[in-house]
Amino acid sequence: MPIKVNHISVAALVDSGSSINIISKSFYDSLPDTCKTSICSVSEKIVLVNNQSVNIVGKCTVKIQVPQGKHWIHTYILTQSSHPLILGTSYLISKKIVLDFSSLSVSNKTAKVKLQKHVTVDPNSELLIWGKVANFILQGQTGMCQNSSHLLKSGLLISKAVVTVNSHKTVPIKLLNPTNDQIFISRGDIIASFEPFTEDYMLINADEKTNTLFKMYN
């Protein structure tokens, strides 16, 4: 769900399985005092469906803007969160929001990911860098980064990966140089394509005993 907080556009997750609203600590810290209250300490703990407890930094009130207008919402602050802002049933009920899946619309636009600085990749090596996505991609959106035709022509590859757009509108990209030569790429070059996930995809947490961070189904 696209919302604005202090003119910052983010993709908030509407979670009908959560009874509370959640904001990430990093997103809370990035907001000015005019659109948030101070952190209040809490004694509660969040318990996930697997009975795992999550420590809460505190709670606060944040001013958000949705297509229907502006209002303040009560949120719990977590050190780590899958999205900058998660809206639970407390928000949906208080604002009398109805989820109409018959008219749900999603964007399947593929965005270009551009290099932010000149880079030289050594032979038979890999390099982790940050790439800039297009402006229509919102902070907090999750999607798949894949090779671009432009990068393939240079001789480089990237690791196909699921990534989340951060507050700087950038995503991590792992460059691979399988050749025996140095390869130079310039600032502004297209290094990947970013495809936001739609309802055709489902991400679930993997077993903590495995080395996989998540699983994806299409």
- How would you write the pLDDT of the chain (218 residues) with one tens digit per residue? 788 888 888 888 888 888 889 999 999 999 999 999 999 988 877 777 677 777 789 999 999 988 767 888 999 999 878 788 999 888 888 776 766 565 554 444 678 999 999 999 999 999 999 999 988 788 888 889 998 888 888 899 999 999 999 888 999 999 999 999 999 999 999 999 998 876 556 565 555 444 444 444 45
What is the full DSSP assignment across the chain? -EEEETTEEEE-EE-TT-SS-EEEHHHHHHS-GGGBPPPBP----EE-TTS-EE---EEEEEEEEETTEEEEEEEEEESS-SSSEEE-HHHHHHTT----GGG-------EEEEESS-EEE-TTEEEEEEEEPPTTSPBT-EEEEE--HHHHHHT-EE--EEEE--TTSEEEEEEEE-SSS-EEE-TT-EEEEEEE--TT-EEEEPPTTSS-SEEEE-
As a whole-number percent, the residues of the chain with pLDDT over 90 amount to 39
- CATH classification of the domain holding 135: 2.70.40.10
Return the pLDDT at 6: 83
Count how many domains the chain has.
2
Q: Which domain holds residue 131?
A: 111-196
Return the pLDDT at 210: 46
One domain for residues 19 and 89: yes
One domain for residues 141 and 73: no
Q: Is residue 137 part of a domain?
A: yes
One domain for residues 10 and 92: yes
Full-model pTM: 0.53
